[in-house]
Amino acid sequence: MDTLPTAPLTTTFDPTGYRAVLAAASRTWNIHESLEATNARIHDGAALSDLDARADGYASNVLSLYPAQLPTNGNWLEIGSGTGYIMEAINRALIARNARAASIIGLDVAPSMITKGQRRIGNTPPFSFQHYDGITIPLNDSCLDVIFSVASLQHVPKPFVYNLFLESHRLLKHGGVLIVQLLSFGHLAKQQHHLPWRQEIANQIHGGGEHWHHFYSRDEVETILRVGDDFRAIRTWDEDGALWVSATKS
């Protein structure tokens, strides 16, 4: 029978190793192309003329999942803001509900997305954009009322999403709310028709292909947010493969 080693196993660990996975996952977003080409490429095949309507639908979902009265003059952050359509739609929806935002910050890992978002909607309040390294969000603790994310986190490798939950808890004020859209495993059967699972996994292992997809169960997300991150009032909805989540910082 093998004996267990008495000395600790080697702890040599290359901290850049898993970051290389994040870099590979992020590469597909940082492509030098026209704003129009980006808008045509990154919005699930929606026609350019439909992008406002698509964003209004998502904004309406986000606001309907907000568990309390919407904050007035709140500070909002979108994780994975792309060219800014959802930020604009959230602003429109808040104005329509007499709950203006003081700020709506678009956070993105891809510098070219930040540039395109700024070019499209500008940096005039309430809008601003913030680039980050995919790990640490360069904002102060407890400065935000709402953090939301749509059509973005399903492309991010899981440990970095789990880390974004921790970062969200740090950044939210007490009573602040996190609302995110992920993919549930129900989405896998649909994806299977155009991108077989075997190919998805090969893309992720070899760092190739277009954007990658990661799937979640409700139990997984609820447990992580409650036990791992100390969020409260966690609610999840599986809407035909889209997993919507809302959670409150107590």
Ligand X SMILES: C[S@@+](CC[C@H](N)C(=O)[O-])C[C@H]1O[C@@H](n2cnc3c(N)ncnc32)[C@H](O)[C@@H]1O
Cα separations (Å) of 180 from 33, 200, 246?
Answer: 28, 23, 7
Contacts of 187 (CB under 8 A, 6+ apart): 213, 215, 241, 242
Q: Which is nearer to ligand X, 154 or 236 (CB)?
A: 154
Contact call for residue 121 and ligand X (CB under 6 A): no
Judged by CB under 6 A, which stretch of 68-76, 147-155, 197-205, 215-223 contacts ligand X? Answer: 147-155
> Cα–Cα distance between 199 and 204 in angstroms, integer?
9
Give yes or no for residue 224 binding ligand X (CB under 6 A): no
Stretch that binds ligand X, among 68-76, 79-87, 170-178, 195-203 (CB under 6 A): 79-87
* Region of 122 on the Ramachandran plot (φ > 0 left; ψ -120 to 50 alpha; else beta): left
CB of 78 to ligand X, least distance (A): 6
Closest contact distance (angstroms) between CB of 33 and ligand X is: 13
Q: What character string, x for contact with ligand X (CB under 6 A) and - otherwise, covers 167-186?
A: --------------------
| Listed ranges 1-9, 82-90, 138-146, 227-235: which one lies at the site for ligand X (CB under 6 A) | 82-90
Other Cβ atoms less than 10 A from the Cβ of 99: the count is 16
Give 218's Cβ-side CA count (13 Å radius): 12
Q: What is the rounded CA–CA span in Å between residue 169 and residue 167?
A: 5
Is the distance from CB of 167 to CB of 140 less than 8 angstroms? no
Which residue, among 194, 169, 186, 204, has the nearest Cα to 244 in the 3D structure? 186
Q: Per-residue x/- mask for ligand X, residues 35 to 64, rule CB under 6 A?
A: -------xx---------------------
Q: Under the criterion CB under 6 A, does residue 26 sit at the interface with ligand X? A: yes
Report the distance separating Cα 44 and Cα 51, nearest Å: 10
Among 63, 77, 121, 150, binds ligand X (CB under 6 A): 150
From candidates 56, 59, 71, 82, binder to ligand X by CB under 6 A: 82
Which residue among 81, 154, 184, 248 contacts ligand X (CB under 6 A)?
81
- Please give the residue ranges that form the binding site for ligand X (CB under 6 A): 26, 29, 42-43, 79-82, 85-86, 108-110, 113, 134, 150-152, 155-156, 160
